[in-house]
Amino acid sequence: MIVFQEGVPHDEAQILTLYQEVGWTLYTRKPEKLLAGLPRSDVLAAYDQERLVGLIRAVTDGETILYIQDLLVLPNYQRQNIGRTLLEKMIAAFPDVRQKILLTDDQIQSMSFYEACGFQQVGKTGGVAYGFSS
């Protein structure tokens, strides 16, 4: 049975394994940055017994914006509604926040998932998104 728990997981090795197994190696190249950023974020984790199998991380002011930074589920646990549940629980924790934002890659699987969860591409909502490149 999957259990959801608020807060940063205590086992740093499991955190790094999760990021590594989903292919997010930019995070694992500098693990100290990832591990320093997590406590400054709102985090909800999914566990199968003691094993970390999923995690969502958001940055928010609690009033006007909720930015979903990371949503990860171990490959063997995907397609079991863990990612959807993590996303729904994070959004539900901030019911009065108007702007709920996330960025994702342009892979059809990712886009389809987020659209099925109620997100729309920014251009379809009358907005424009920009990225800064130094």
Phi and psi at residue 120, to the nearest 5°:
-125, 150
Indicate the domain borders of the chain. 2-103
What's the confidence (pLDDT) of residue 132? 67
- The CATH number, out of the four listed (1.10.486.10, 3.40.640.10, 3.40.630.30, 3.90.1150.10), of the domain defined by the range 2-103: 3.40.630.30
Rounded to an integer, the average pLDDT of 63-80 is 94
What's the confidence (pLDDT) of residue 107? 77
Q: Can you tell me which residue has the tokens 């424009």?
A: 128
- pTM of the complete model: 0.88
Torsion sign (Cα): 133, 121, 56, 16:
negative
Per-residue buried b or exposed e for 20-41, using 16+ beta carbons within 10 Å of the residue's own CB: eebeeeebbeeeeebeeebeee
* Band (3; pLDDT cuts 50, 70, 90): very high
Query: pLDDT exceeding 90 applies to what percent of the chain?
Result: 69
The answer on pLDDT for 97 being more than 70 is: yes
Cα separation, 10 vs 5, in Å, equals 12
